[in-house]
């Protein structure tokens, strides 16, 4: 785990090495000061030796100054190293997630990937900063203060031999109790993130179904969940203060008692007793800091393992070495294709699919909800890989293509397509970053989007809100089709992508495809018979199987399901008057 995370340190390595060295130096100065102070009192002040006071005073001043400078520099370097580390880690995570297949995303869920990129990475940043400073400072101060205490007075230092194990046991018992609670806090943050994400993304649905109260309740439950566990954890951690107070006071009392005895017996000097007080504070405070950093590191461990799980996950679909770089044409073949999302041959979502499409042909796909239409088309651009059988494009197995080449040549307008914040033109250029303005306008004309874009306040430079909330559903679908056309693909897949477009415009878009883009193979999934009735061939899917195949006229005779859908859409003389009733 550490080896994988350490890869993200990179250019911050030098800061990560220098910071602990400076922290160590600062710790040494902190430990040296009480010893020299004691000396200054005993040999300088008590004996009225001004030269000694001046010399030692100067040394003390120098130590204090260098301690402050190294401490401040160390803080700055550790902060910089930790921020740089988390920036790299976030970048590495993001890059890795970009290579994920749909299956990988399904496995992690997008909400949990967001938490890992944000909350978990923040935890690691704080833990890393703590590691560079406190995890070095606390043990260094503790060990050296302990040694110095022995140097000053071995007899009195024996007090620490008794006190330190008691305090250590107490502190770690508290942490042991609080640790699982802190882990729970982070899990509950996941729940809160999920609720907020869902609500914010679906705010329009929430409002239209007047579900604000339910959503508020869900949010309150999640927020209260965090509050409750956090309160429990803090209640446990609050025991730290009385324990520390008790141990510090008890140690001071013991020191006073033994110290007074030793001073009376001339075995200890006043300055040495004062040094012992300082060392007591340093040792006990360091122990407290150690327990805190131990807690922070153990919390970060949970975040680290969640992040490493993502970094270790291999993309389930990768580009082959020396993949084919060109696609001859848009011929599509499905040869005895079976598919299961769970890789389980007993739970197939697609069964024995056989299809042959010549380049430029149009295939219509219709079937009930959940019959496997989207699944079928997702196999062509390798959004998922077949469980058995073979899918070919241009006569070559899709798995033999370079993945970018394949996806550039198979343009998919998905069912839940999204637009991103930016101008209309920016969004369209996702299809082809080098597209000229003329090419953009042309694609929009084919998709019947040009007309409404021209009417937008700034035309093609109009800003779109995230997910295209300032355009209508049908306009968004047409923009997505234009974006897909700009890729100049061999195959264009429209997965129910004109459902919000009126039938007239839908027909005009298909007409444009036929007239202007005859070389592109078109695969159209639709719930509307009118959207596919003029296709060269149509397949009817039912429970993952092709139950009928042919032209519109043939299917009306041969497929009862097709006929029923046709009837339910109230066709009269080829005119469409309704929607699919699947």
Ligand X SMILES: Nc1ncnc2c1ncn2[C@@H]1O[C@H](COP(=O)(O)OP(=O)(O)OP(=O)(O)O)[C@@H](O)[C@H]1O
| Least spacing, CB of residue 581 vs ligand X, in Å | 12
> Which of 415, 419, 416 shows the shortest CA–CA distance to 468?
419
User: What are phi and psi for residue 105, nearest 5 degrees?
Assistant: -65, -40
Nearer of residues 136 and 548 to ligand X, judged by Cβ: 548
Token pair in block for residue 12: 């911050």
Q: What is the CA radius of gyration of the chain?
A: 35
Distance CA 543, CA 113 (A): 32
Residue listed under structure tokens 């075995």? 267
Instruction: Please report how close the Cβ of residue 103 comes to ligand X at its closest, in angstroms.
Output: 8
C-alpha separations of 451 from 10, 38, 348, 479, 481 in Å: 51, 88, 44, 11, 14
Is the Cβ of residue 170 or residue 372 nearer to ligand X in the bound state? 372
CB 373, min distance to ligand X, A: 4
CB 518 to ligand X: min, Å:
27
* Site for ligand X, rule CB under 6 A: 106, 341, 349, 367, 369-375, 415
Of 516 and 564, nearer to ligand X (C-beta) is: 564
Residue 8 or 371: the one with the smaller Cβ distance to ligand X is 371
Q: How is the beta sheet containing 537-542 ordered, strand by strand? A: 410-413, 491-495, 521-525, 362-367, 537-542, 545-550
Angle ∠(194,199,204) on CA atoms, nearest 5: 155
Least Å from the CB of residue 484 to ligand X = 18
Q: What is the 3-state secondary structure (H, E, C) of 493-512?
A: EEECCCCCCCHHHHHHHHHH
User: What is the C-alpha separation between 293 and 560, in angstroms, rounded?
Assistant: 70
Within 99-153, where are the H helices? 102-108, 110-115, 121-152
Q: Are strands 362-367 and 521-525 parallel, antiparallel or unpaired?
A: parallel
Nearer to ligand X, 135 or 501 (CB): 501
CB of 83 to ligand X, least distance (A): 37
The nearest distance, CB 86 to ligand X, in angstroms, is 31
Considering beta carbons, is residue 236 or 530 the nearer one to ligand X? 530
- CA 316/CA 526 separation, integer angstroms: 29
C-beta closer to ligand X: residue 330 or 367: 367
Q: Largest Cα–Cα distance of the chain, in whole Å?
A: 119
SS3 521: strand
Cα separation, 579 vs 44, in Å, equals 99
Shortest Å distance, C-beta 547 to ligand X:
13
Tokens coding 456: 């937008």
Number of H helices, E strands in the chain: 21, 12
Of residues 126 and 316, the one with the C-beta less far from ligand X:
316
Taking the least distance from each CB to ligand X, the nearer of 251 and 527 is 527
Residue 390's SS3 state is strand
Measured from the CB of residue 542, what is the shortest distance to ligand X in angstroms?
10
Smallest separation, CB 408 to ligand X (Å): 24
Residue 397 or 415: the one with the smaller Cβ distance to ligand X is 415
CA atoms in the 13 A half-sphere facing the CB of 214 = 9
Distance CA 487, CA 485 (A): 5
CA 576 – CA 100 distance, rounded (Å): 41
**Inter-residue contact 526 to 532 (CB < 8 Å):** yes
For the bound state, the minimum distance from the C-beta of residue 497 to ligand X, rounded and expressed in Å, comes to 12
**Residue nearer to ligand X on the CB measure, 85 or 339:** 339
């Amino acid at each position: 785990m550490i080896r994988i995370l350490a890869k993200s340190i990179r250019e911050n390595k030098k800061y990560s090495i220098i910071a602990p060295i400076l922290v160590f130096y600062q710790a040494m100065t902190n430990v040296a000061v009480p010893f020299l102070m004691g000396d200054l009192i005993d040999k300088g002040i008590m004996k009225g030796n001004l030269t000694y006071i001046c010399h030692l005073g100067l040394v003390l001043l120098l130590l204090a100054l260098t301690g402050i400078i190294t401490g401040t520099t160390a803080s700055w370097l550790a902060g910089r190293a930790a921020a740089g580390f988390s920036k790299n880690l976030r970048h590495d995570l993001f890059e890795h997630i970009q290579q994920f297949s749909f299956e990988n995303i399904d496995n992690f869920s997008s909400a949990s990937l967001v938490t890992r990129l944000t909350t978990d990475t923040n935890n690691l940043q704080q833990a890393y900063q703590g590691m560079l400073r406190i995890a070095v400072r606390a043990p260094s101060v503790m060990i050296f203060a302990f040694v110095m205490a022995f140097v000053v007075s071995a007899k009195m230092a024996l007090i620490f031999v008794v006190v330190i194990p008691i305090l250590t046991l107490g502190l770690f018992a508290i942490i042991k109790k609080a640790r699982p609670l802190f882990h729970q806090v982070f899990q509950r943050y996941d729940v809160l993130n999920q609720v907020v994400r869902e609500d914010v993304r679906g705010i329009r649905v929430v409002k239209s179904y007047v579900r604000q109260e339910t959503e508020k309740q869900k949010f309150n439950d999640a927020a209260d969940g965090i509050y409750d566990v956090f309160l429990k954890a803090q209640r446990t951690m609050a025991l730290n203060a009385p324990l520390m107070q008790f141990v510090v006071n008890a140690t001071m009392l013991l020191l006073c008692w033994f110290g007074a005895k030793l001073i009376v017996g001339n075995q200890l000097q006043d300055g040495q007793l004062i040094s012992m007080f300082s060392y007591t504070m340093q040792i006990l405070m360091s122990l407290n800091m150690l327990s805190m950093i131990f807690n922070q590191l153990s919390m970060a461990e949970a975040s680290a393992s969640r992040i490493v799980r993502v970094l270790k996950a291999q993309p389930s679909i990768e580009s082959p070495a020396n993949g084919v770089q060109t696609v001859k044409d848009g011929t599509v073949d499905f040869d005895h294709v079976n598919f299961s999302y769970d890789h389980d041959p007993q739970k197939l979502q697609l069964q024995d699919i056989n299809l042959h499409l010549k380049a430029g042909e149009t295939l219509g796909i219709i079937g009930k909800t959940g019959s496997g239409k989207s699944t079928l088309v997702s196999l062509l651009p390798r959004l998922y890989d077949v469980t058995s059988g073979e899918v070919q494009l241009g006569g070559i197995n899709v798995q033999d293509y370079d993945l970018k080449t394949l996806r550039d040549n198979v343009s998919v307008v998905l069912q839940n397509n999204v637009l991103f914040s930016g101008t209309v033109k920016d969004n369209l250029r996702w299809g082809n970053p080098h597209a000229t303005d003329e090419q953009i306008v042309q694609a929009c004309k084919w998709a019947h989007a040009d007309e409404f874009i021209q009417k937008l306040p700034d035309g093609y430079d109009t800003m779109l809100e995230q997910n295209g909330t300032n355009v209508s559903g049908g306009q968004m679908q047409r923009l997505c089709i234009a974006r897909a056309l700009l890729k100049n693909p061999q195959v264009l897949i429209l997965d129910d992508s004109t459902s919000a477009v009126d039938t007239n415009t839908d027909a005009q878009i298909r007409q444009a495809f036929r007239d202007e883009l005859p070389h592109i193979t078109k695969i159209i999934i639709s719930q509307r018979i009118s959207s596919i009735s003029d296709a060269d061939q149509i397949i009817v899917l039912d429970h993952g199987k092709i139950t009928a195949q042919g032209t519109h006229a043939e299917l009306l005779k041969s497929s009862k399901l097709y006929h029923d859908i046709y009837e339910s859409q109230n066709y009269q003389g080829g005119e469409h008057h309704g929607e699919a009733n699947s």
